[in-house]
Chains A and B, each alone.
Chain A
Amino acid sequence: MLPSCPRTLLELLEQRGALTPQQAAFLWEDQPVSFKELWDKASRFAAFLLGLSVAPGDRVLIRLPNGPDFFRAFYGVLRAGAIAVPVFPASGPDRIAALARLCGASMVVAAGGDGCDIAGLRTVSVADSGACTTQASFPAVAPDDVAFLQYTSGSTGSPKGVMLSHRGLLANIGQLIDGMNLTESDCFVSWLPVFHDMGLILMTMVPFYLGAKLVLLPTSLANVRPWLLAIERHRGTVTAAPDFAYRLTLRHVREAASHDLRSLRVALNAAEPVRASTIEEFESAFGLRNALIAGYGLAEATVGVSSGQPGSAPLVDARGVVSVGRSFRDVDVRIIEDGRPLAAGRIGEIAVRSPANTRGYYGDPVETARLFWGDGYIRTGDLGYLDDAGRLFVTGRLKNMIKHGGESIFPQEAEEVADRMPWVRSSAAVGIDSGGPEGEQLYLFVELSRPGRYDEPQLYERAVDIVQAVQARLGIRPGRVYLLRPHAIPVTPNGKIRHADLRERHLSGGLRADKAVLFPGY
Chain B
Amino acid sequence: MLIDLEDVCRTVGLVLGRRVVHANDRLMEDLGAESIDLLNIVVALEQKHGVSIDEAATGDVSTVRDLHQLVSRSPRAAIVPADPARTA
Contacts and interface: CB of A to CB of B under 8 A. Distances in A.
Interface of A: 405, 434, 436-438, 441, 456, 460-461, 463-464, 467-468, 470-471, 476-477, 479-481, 509, 512, 519-522
Nearest to A471: B17
A470 B40 CA distance: 16
A175 B29 CA distance: 58
Nearest to A479: B40
- Interface majority SS on B: helix, strand, loop or mixed? helix
Interface residues of B, number: 24
B82 A512 contact: yes
Contacts of B13: 460, 464
Contacts of A471: 17
Given A437-B55, A477-B37, A521 B19 contact: no
Given A477-B15, A519-B88, A522-B88, A509 B82 contact: yes
Given A456-B88, A464-B13, A521 B48 contact: yes
B14 to A, nearest CB: 6
Contacts of B15: 467, 477, 480
B31 to A, nearest CB: 11
Contact of A480 (B16, B40, B42, B86): B40
B3 interface: no
Interface of B: 10, 13-19, 36-37, 39-40, 42-44, 47-48, 55, 81-83, 86-88
Contacts of B14: 460, 463-464, 467, 481, 520
Contacts of B47: 522
B55 A520 contact: no
A407 to B, nearest CB: 10
Given A463-B14, A467-B15, A477-B17, A521 B39 contact: no
Given A464-B13, A522-B88, A480 B39 contact: no
A521 B17 contact: no
A480 to B, nearest CB: 7
B10 A438 contact: no
Given A438-B39, A461-B19, A464-B13, 12 more contacts: A434-B43, A437-B39, A438-B36, A460-B13, A460-B14, A460-B88, A464-B14, A476-B36, A477-B16, A520-B44, A521-B88, A522-B87
Contacts of B48: 520-522
Contacts of A405: 36
A470 B59 CA distance: 27
